[in-house]
């Protein structure tokens, strides 16, 4: 898989949509760069743009957007609530998929050098790309904002990393770097007081506040949440004060922890949190973790679908209070993936059956096996969720929730395999259609056929493994679950056995034409073992089910 790097430039313009459109158009014109999100803020007079791509694409798109911003935004006339130093204030690179922090540091260095040389804008490196500890923290570089650059830039300790130590009055400075995913997140309060909002921010943020003891000596009181930066402000367009936060390391402080910290502080100070607002995009896992967190607080099973966990997170955090929250537009993975066309798993039951019954050879037995397996483990998951919510069983909700989560995990992988199996078959057909006029073409065609065949073996073999794992969920539910649903666990076991056996048949038939005998023999031997285990597991579960009926 190719590397995916995210870039999140912040532009000092949030009121003129035409200017922002010209900037984002410059990004979209770069092949390999995908614009993910644009978040304009009138009160802050700032726009956060998010795009992603490979290393070369994101650097080129970042440069073009900064160049366009330097042509359209004059910092001499800029004002807004958010701290800023330049027309493009900050431009971080973030590793998303198969990319390292080192890759992102290299992006920042390439961009900084080019911006300084071609646009004559002084550039500072921050976070992981910082050249000194003093420059690691964005707030330290930005201190004094645009208005203080002229005096600050001539100081030896604030010589730019790239470019001359000379004030660019029109464009200010650029701050670029590499960092972990940062979640820009605002919590809404039922007050218009910036002072009160700041009191909550000081409680929550890692930096905390300065306090005086009985003797008038000033000391530092740290805040509650690690890796959180926060300030309070009033947003006129909403008519509310907010705690505006940057969560710089969600491993230390997840979004739901920051939210609840604001809830606690606000309540203690006579206020109430009414909802929250996400600026830009958020990783899927952050939303799933939040959904599970709020379900656990209710002692409810977290073994629900991905879509339901996302919905729970949205409602619990109040992300839709100020504006609609569309997951397909706000969750990074969903935006990057986009709308995938013609997926079998997105068809209705009727259209899926019709497609299977058509004259087309795909979907075939492999896809059906994966889907039957998904249905089987779904039944076990259903029993777990029903048992978790059963009256009088409250002390065991977590036991059943854990099994339900495991069932959901297997179900999602099996559903993915439905389309993977059909894609694997199509790859074989494509390989067979390759030209074979010359010896070189014949050799390339043979190699492609063998590679596609090996993949067509691996997919159903993986289905066998997953469906076999589902017996753990089904057995636990047959033995421990709600006795009124024991028959559902039994049907699930029948489905799981069918999935394993059906996938086994596909492994066997696809192996026939594979020339790699060592690989083939190893896979077939393991497949035989899995099939034997599945048949034994099915028998054990059905004995339990029959005894309880």
Length of the chain: 549
The answer to whether residues 482 and 476 touch, using CB atoms and an 8 Å cutoff, is no
Rounded Cα–Cα distance for residues 339 and 344 (Å): 13
Rounded Cα–Cα distance for residues 10 and 29 (Å): 19
The dihedral region occupied by 270, where left means phi > 0, alpha psi between -120 and 50, and beta the remainder, is: left
Q: How far is CA 526 from CA 170, 297, 461, 462, 506, in A?
A: 68, 42, 9, 11, 14
- Catalytic residue chosen out of the listed positions 203, 419, 421, 488: 421
Q: Within its chain, how far is the Cα of 210 from the centroid?
A: 36
DSSP run (H or E) holding 92 = strand 88-97
Q: How far is CA 135 from CA 57, 144, 403, in A?
A: 26, 14, 47
Rounded Cα–Cα distance for residues 67 and 503 (Å): 55
Rounded Cα–Cα distance for residues 148 and 375 (Å): 63
CB atoms within 10 A of CB 339: 8
- Catalytic residue chosen out of the listed positions 82, 203, 260, 419: 82
Rounded Cα–Cα distance for residues 229 and 139 (Å): 10
- Verify whether residue 82 is a known catalytic residue: yes
Rounded Cα–Cα distance for residues 191 and 231 (Å): 15
Rounded Cα–Cα distance for residues 411 and 372 (Å): 10
Q: Indicate the burial class of 359 (C-beta count within 10 angstroms; 0-12, 13-18, 19 or more).
A: exposed
- Verify whether residue 37 is a known catalytic residue: no
Residue 235 phi, psi (nearest 5): -105, 105
Rounded Cα–Cα distance for residues 283 and 302 (Å): 19
Catalytic residue list: 82, 421
């Amino acid at each position: 898989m190719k590397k995916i790097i995210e870039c999140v430039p912040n532009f000092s313009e949030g009121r003129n949509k035409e200017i922002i459109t010209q900037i984002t158009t410059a990004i979209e014109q770069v092949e390999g760069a995908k614009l993910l999100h644009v978040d304009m803020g009138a009160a802050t007079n700032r726009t956060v743009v998010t795009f992603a791509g490979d290393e070369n694409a994101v650097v080129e798109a970042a440069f073009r957007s900064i160049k366009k911003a330097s042509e359209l935004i004059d910092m001499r006339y800029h004002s807004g609530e958010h701290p800023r130093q330049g027309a493009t204030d900050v431009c971080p690179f973030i590793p998303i998929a198969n990319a390292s922090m080192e890759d992102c540091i290299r992006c920042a260095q390439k961009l900084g050098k080019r911006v300084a040389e071609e646009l004559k804008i002084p550039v500072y490196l921050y976070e992981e790309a910082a050249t000194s500890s003093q420059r690691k923290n964005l707030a330290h570089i930005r201190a004094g904002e645009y208005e203080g650059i002229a005096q600050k830039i001539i100081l030896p300790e604030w010589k730019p990393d790239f470019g001359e130590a000379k004030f660019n009055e029109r464009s200010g400075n650029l701050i670029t770097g590499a960092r972990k995913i940062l979640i820009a997140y605002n919590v809404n309060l039922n007050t218009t007081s910036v002072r009160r909002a700041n009191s909550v921010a000081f409680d929550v943020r890692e930096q905390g506040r300065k306090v005086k003891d009985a003797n008038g000596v000033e000391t530092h009181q740290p805040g509650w949440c690690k890796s959180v930066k926060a300030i309070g402000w009033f947003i006129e367009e909403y008519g509310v004060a907010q705690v505006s936060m940057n969560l710089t390391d969600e491993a230390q402080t997840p979004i739901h922890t920051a939210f609840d910290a604001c809830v606690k502080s606000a309540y203690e100070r006579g206020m109430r949190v009414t909802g929250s607002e996400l600026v830009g995009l958020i990783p899927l896992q952050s939303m799933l973790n939040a959904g599970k967190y709020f379900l656990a607080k209710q002692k409810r099973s977290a073994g629900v679908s991905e879509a339901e966990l996302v919905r729970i997170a949205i409602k619990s955090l109040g992300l839709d209070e100020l504006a609609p929250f569309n997951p397909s537009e706000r969750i990074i993975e969903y935006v990057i993936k986009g709308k995938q066309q013609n997926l079998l798993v997105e068809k209705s039951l009727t259209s899926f059956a019709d497609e299977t019954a058509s004259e087309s050879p795909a979907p075939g037995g492999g896809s059906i096996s994966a889907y039957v397996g998904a249905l089987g483990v779904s039944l076990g998951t259903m029993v777990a969720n029903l048992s978790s919510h059963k009256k009088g069983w409250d002390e065991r909700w977590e036991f059943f929730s854990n099994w339900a989560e495991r069932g959901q995990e297997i179900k999602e992988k099996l559903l993915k395999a439905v389309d993977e199996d059909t894609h694997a078959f199509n790859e074989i057909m494509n390989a067979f259609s390759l030209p074979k006029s010359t010896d070189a073409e014949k050799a390339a065609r043979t190699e492609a056929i063998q590679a596609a065949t090996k993949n067509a073996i691996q997919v159903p073999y993986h289905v066998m493994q997953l469906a076999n794992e589902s017996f753990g969920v089904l057995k636990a539910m047959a033995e421990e679950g709600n006795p009124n649903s024991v028959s559902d666990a039994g049907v699930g076991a029948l489905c799981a056995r069918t999935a394993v056996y059906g996938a086994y048949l596909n492994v066997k038939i696809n192996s026939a034409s594979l020339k790699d005998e060592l690989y083939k023999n190893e896979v077939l031997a393991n497949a035989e073992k899995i099939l034997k285990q599945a048949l034994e597991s099915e028998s054990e579960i059905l004995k339990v089910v029959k005894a309880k009926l």
